Amino acid sequence: MHIQTARTVLGVSEVTKEHRQLAKALNFGLLYGMGARGFRLYAQAHYGLNLTLAEAESYRAAFFRTYPGLRHWHRSIPGQAVDTRTRAGRRRLNVERFTEKLNTPVQGTGADGLKQALALLWERRHDCPGAVPVLAVHDEIVVECDQAQAEAVAAWLKAAMLEALAPLVEPVPVDVEVRSAPTWGG
């Protein structure tokens, strides 16, 4: 997603690490309703990007030209307090802040998918005995297993995550990256 945003919003074909960082700031900042000033501060604080206000305004405008559906969605959000829902149907009542009205359906749906993936892993624990989910944070699940099981556990984890999230966001394609390492931080 970040590479695609970098290519289309920034107009580059070869995406550098710096381009990807800017694209991440655009995707994660503007999706949830930041204006140019907020985006500028967010890009600095979270991604170490020093943008002028004019640059932030220009990137923001290019982002919404690239993703007009997001602009339409933002503009469709009522000004008064509303109830919001995730794609799985979980709701928050009387949400007043614009950014929370945007955040709940997106982040909440991601959380619903993660919880469903954990439930599927539990239901299918017999498929990978010895594999133990030990940590779930945002959109990641850490599973411990013996090195000899790593390939099978990776497939088990990926299948559960895809099956859990894909129905919630159809027709948007879901991609899951699984990485094996000798330690949690590796």
Q: Would the pLDDT of 184 be above 90?
A: no
* Tally of domains within the chain: 2
Q: What percent of the chain has pLDDT over 70?
A: 99
* Residue 60 parent element (H or E): helix 53-66
Overall residue count recorded for the chain in this entry: 186
Residue 51 lies in a domain: yes
Residues 157 and 121 in one domain: yes
Residues 116 and 154 in one domain: yes
pLDDT at 186: 67
pTM: 0.84
**Model confidence over 34-91: pLDDT tens digits?**
999 999 999 999 999 999 999 999 999 999 999 999 999 999 999 999 999 999 999 9
Give the CA distances from residue 131 to residues 126, 127, 169, in Å, rounded to whole numbers and listed in that order. 9, 9, 28
Residues 12 and 69 in one domain: yes
Residue 93 lies in a domain: no
Backbone φ, ψ for residue 18 (5° rounding): -65, -40
**Which residues form the domain of 158?**
103-169
Residues 63 and 111 in one domain: no
Residue 98 lies in a domain: no
Residue 180 lies in a domain: no
**Model confidence over 9-24: pLDDT tens digits?**
999 999 999 999 999 9
Rounded Cα gap, residues 51 and 116, in angstroms? 39
Considering only CA atoms, which of 110, 174, 186 is closest in space to residue 144? 186
Residue 23 lies in a domain: yes
